[in-house]
Amino acid sequence: MNTSPVFPRMDGGIGPFYPVVDDIALLKRLLAFGVRTVQLRVKDANHPNLDAMIKEAVACGRLCQAQVFINDHWEKALDAGAYGLHLGQDDLKSADLDAIAHAGIRLGVSTRTSDELELALSLNPSYLAIGHIFPTPTKQMPTPPQGVAQLSKHLATVAGKVPTVAIGGIDIAKAPEVWQSGVDAIAVVRAVTQSCDLAATLQSFAEVLTEEARNERIVVEQS
């Protein structure tokens, strides 16, 4: 694994709201509502429509001038000219990072431990994802939930070198606490994929994920 590439920065920053979905129709709805950073995560490498889904996600991102990341499937993302690619620790071992960087594709990297965080920092990625913060049923996790206190420690290690994303079990009730850590963005899965009213869900997160809301609670806690 080559650790020398420097990946492009994100044009408009990462956050604050970062939905992760496995459905093109939902991805399109999010973009139509004005969401500007979203990830297509289709875990089944044998999905019959995978190539078409990736190409459509990339095209929709360009049309809406949005930052659409493709999870895993780096070769297909590279062929499609994706804006961004998100890789887990295992995927980093097989991906051609030089080719990805040379193509100008942004790279997001998942981390779960301090060692993984240090490794990811050495890759000069476009952003770092830290998780999982709370228990989540969306995927099997080899490590226990980290919680907000550990998230804050990881953020201190990053020290603003790259944008950071918190992920894992974050719903609207838990979002304020996570936001107070100083993380740059909050990634959500079930909060959007299981939403009965997507517009209302997006509005609720928009009200929570503001600098005013972050600073207001800090003042209350310190007084």
Domain of residue 69, CATH code? 3.20.20.70
Per-residue tens of pLDDT for the chain, all 223 residues: 444 688 999 988 998 999 999 999 999 999 999 999 999 999 999 999 999 999 999 999 999 999 999 999 999 999 999 999 999 999 999 999 999 999 999 999 999 999 999 999 999 999 999 999 999 876 677 788 999 999 999 999 999 999 999 999 999 999 999 999 999 999 999 999 999 999 999 999 999 999 998 887 555 455 4
User: What is the residue whose two structure tokens read 């809406």?
Assistant: 64
Does 223 reside within a domain? no
**Bond into 16 cis (ω within 30):** yes
Structural contact between residues 37 and 18, judged by C-beta atoms closer than 8 angstroms: yes
Domain presence at residue 111:
yes
Q: Which two tokens stand for residue 72?
A: 């895993």
Smallest CA-to-CA distance from 205 within 78, 16, 62, 13 is with 16
Indicate whether 3 belongs to any domain. Answer: no
CA–CA separation, 39 and 43 (whole Å): 12
pTM over 0.95: no
Is 12 part of a structural domain of the chain?
Answer: no
Are the C-beta atoms of 154 and 120 separated by less than 8 Å? no
Q: Which domain holds residue 163?
A: 17-216
Contact residues for 52 (Cβ-Cβ < 8 A; gap 6+): none
Q: What are the structure tokens assigned to 18, written together?
A: 């970062």
Residue 8 resides in a domain: no
Would you say residue 198 lies in a domain? Answer: yes
Looking at the domain assignment, is residue 36 inside a domain? yes
In a domain, 190, yes or no: yes
Q: Which of 165, 179, 166, 171 is nearest to 208 (CA)?
A: 179
86 forms beta bridges with 71, 108
In the chain, how many domains are there? 1
Q: Look up residue 65 and give its amino acid.
A: Q
